[in-house]
Amino acid sequence: MSANDRPTGPPTATRDSAFLKACRREPVPHTPVWFMRQAGRSLPEYRKAREGTGMLESCMRPDLVTEITLQPVRRHRVDAAIYFSDIVVPLKAIGVDLDIKPGVGPVVERPIRSRADLDRLRPLEPADVAYVAEAVGMLTGELGGTPLIGFAGAPFTLASYLVEGGPSKNHEHTKALMYGDPQLWADLLDRLAEITAAFLRVQIEAGASAVQLFDSWAGALRPRDYRESVLPASAKVFDAVAEYGVPRIHFGVGTGELLGLMATAGADVVGADWRVPLDEAARRIGPGHAVQGNLDPAVLFAPREAVEEQAAQVLEAARDVHGHIFNLGHGVLPDTDPDALTRLVAYVHEATGR
Ligand code: CP3
């Protein structure tokens, strides 16, 4: 698509939505709510739609992607949809031999640990993910005024899966590469930044009205390592999509010590997990950013009154934050009662409605 064909931005109803207003730090009619991993295993209709279809195969079917993305919007009345996919989809699309194993996560057949391995990571062309553009187009038609959030994995989190060969608690091979061969590491992250940027561009050009960069595992790093070895690649991604003017969200787990640095990477909105109170998170993030978060997802297993008490504490901590987007501190846990999520959305809307 040439610059002239680019959509001129979302329709007015979407642009004026509480979610996009909060991202821009404008006054809102109520605090907007969405949940990371809102589309997924907590919903019986999701399990039914996915029956007999593998995770990666589902991500390549625009009809399934559209249905699954819409499910939580219909059920919970959340203020934004998140595109149903996975952070490893662009890697699969360029031919990395990976699969998503149920209950495990992404598994890579041949991990990337040498210069020769790196050569296997070719650039992502829009044609590699034509089904993504198709599904985003279908979705924006169906969603009306509800914004669609596109997303991608950040270079460090993608690198962790590629270097470890699967999910990892300690990221030992990843860190061995980062400390042991800084040049190869920098080249790997730079290549991943280009792939990620290309993947986000496809989603934005097809109509996504915000994007989130998931650096889920960045919290495993010291600030100095994050700043020197990771931040430049994430900043490159944010920079590459700045021209579109859609809000960019940045999130990771256990990133209390990194929030200030993450804010400098270029996002408009920074997400925090539940370990840092939201007012303290906002202080660390610094002025000029909206803040997203941060109810502990495990709280949803408590009785309704306790959930509302904990949600009220998040809202109280967010009182002086200009631009608060209510979310969980990480994704919805698979065994969460969907009704607890629906009630939480209604609670936040009522408690903050003006
Ligand atoms: O948020 C949404 O509702 C949109 C869908 C979404 C998925 N993955 C679907 C999915 C999003 C935004 C992601 C991002 C993702 N994927 C991240 C970043 C967010 C985070 O949780 O920190 C990460 C680290 C991954 C990698 C990944 N993929 C993991 C850890 C898993 C879970 C493994 C498991 O089964 O416990 C997956 C698989 C996955 N991605 C599922 C879904 C719905 C489960 C697949 C299934 O239903 O079997």
* Cα 55 to ligand 1 centroid, rounded to whole Å: 9
Amino acid identity of residue 149, one-letter, is I
Average pLDDT, the chain: 96
Tens digit of pLDDT for each residue in 256-305? 999 999 999 999 999 999 999 999 999 999 999 999 999 999 999 999 99
Which pLDDT score is estimated for 3?
47
Any idea which residues carry the catalytic annotation? 37, 41, 50, 86, 161
Determine if the pTM surpasses 0.90: yes
Q: Work out the percent of the chain whose per-residue pLDDT is above 70.
A: 97
Amino acid identity of residue 137, one-letter, is G
| Cβ 37 under 6 angstroms from ligand 1 | yes
Q: From the annotation, which residues make up the binding site for substrate?
A: 37-41, 86, 161, 216, 330
**Which residues, in sequence order, are CB contacts of 225 under 8 Å at separation 6+?**
178
Between the alpha carbon of residue 349 and those of residues 18, 79, 272, 346, the distances in Å are: 11, 10, 20, 5
Which pLDDT score is estimated for 10?
80
User: Other C-beta atoms within 10 Å of 275: how many?
Assistant: 14
Name the helix (H) or strand (E) containing 348: helix 338-352
- Cα separation, 264 vs 70, in Å, equals 33
- Cα separation, 213 vs 234, in Å, equals 8
- Cα separation, 79 vs 56, in Å, equals 26
Contact of 162 with 112, CB cutoff 8 Å: yes
Q: From the annotation, which residues make up the binding site?
A: 37-41, 86, 161, 216, 330
- Cα separation, 36 vs 81, in Å, equals 10
- Which atom belonging to ligand 1 lies closest to the Cα atom of 40? 43
Which pLDDT score is estimated for 1?
46
- Cα separation, 123 vs 341, in Å, equals 39
Contact of 33 with 348, CB cutoff 8 Å: yes
| Cβ 147 under 6 angstroms from ligand 1 | no
Tens digit of pLDDT for each residue in 51-88? 999 999 999 999 999 999 999 999 999 999 999 999 99
* Cα 37 to ligand 1 centroid, rounded to whole Å: 7
Which pLDDT score is estimated for 6?
53
Q: Is the ipTM of this complex over 0.90?
A: yes
Pick the CATH number of 3-152+202-226+243-352 from 3.40.630.10, 3.30.565.10, 3.40.50.300, 3.20.20.210: 3.20.20.210
Domain boundaries, the chain: 3-152+202-226+243-352
> In the predicted model, is pLDDT for residue 354 greater than 90?
no
Tens digit of pLDDT for each residue in 114-164? 999 999 999 999 999 999 999 999 999 999 999 999 999 999 999 999 999
